[in-house]
């Protein structure tokens, strides 16, 4: 390992320390300074010219195309959004119209059913009133008939009572006059 370190140190010393009498690195040699600066300026000028005439116009064209595509996509997105909003508004309008129509139909059906119900109720009431009038007429007829029968029944009852109490047949004229006096 010491041998390896010694070799590495020797190599490092050779790289970092110039040998005495050896020429310095050419770009740092003061004798070559002006020619290196001239070549640097020429190379920079040629690269600048090539970049400005060839590479940069291509990059600018690519950026311009990209910007146009982005703008086109944005415009298309705005148009699609407007169409979607219009479709949503139309959908909301259609739903509102359908809701209004359904409410109208419900009210019409309710009114129709109410009218039918009222008509049926009036018909049933009329039928019941007719039946009631017929029943009242029947009751009155039965009442009159019963009242006529009451006189006869009262006459027979009075005769039977008198006969039971006295043991003799009752006077029919006296019973009739007594019954007629109570009716008046």
pTM over 0.85: no
Residues in Cβ contact with 183 at an 8 Å cutoff, skipping those fewer than 6 apart: 151
How confident is the model over 85-89, as a mean pLDDT?
95
Please tell me the predicted confidence (pLDDT) of residue 13.
Answer: 47
Question: What are the extents of the domains in the chain?
Answer: 32-183
Q: pLDDT by residue (tens digit) across 33-53?
A: 888 889 999 999 999 999 999
């Amino acid at each position: 390992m010491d041998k390896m370190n010694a070799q590495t140190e020797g190599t490092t010393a050779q790289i970092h320390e110039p040998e005495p009498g050896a020429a310095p690195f050419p770009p740092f040699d003061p004798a070559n300074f002006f020619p290196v600066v001239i070549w640097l300026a020429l190379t920079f000028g040629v690269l600048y010219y090539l970049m400005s005439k060839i590479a940069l116009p291509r990059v600018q064209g690519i950026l311009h195309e990209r910007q146009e595509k982005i703008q086109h996509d944005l415009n298309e997105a705005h148009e699609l959004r407007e169409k979607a909003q219009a479709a949503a508004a139309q959908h909301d309008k259609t739903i509102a119209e359908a809701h209004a129509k359904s409410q109208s139909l419900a009210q019409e059906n309710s009114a129709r059913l109410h009218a039918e119900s009222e008509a049926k109720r009036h018909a049933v009431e009329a039928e019941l009133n007719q039946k009631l009038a017929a029943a009242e007429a029947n009751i009155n007829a039965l009442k009159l008939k019963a009242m006529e029968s009451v006189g006869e029944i009262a006459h027979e009852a009075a005769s039977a009572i008198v006969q039971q109490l006295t043991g003799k047949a009752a006077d029919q004229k006296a019973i009739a006059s007594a019954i007629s006096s109570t009716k008046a």
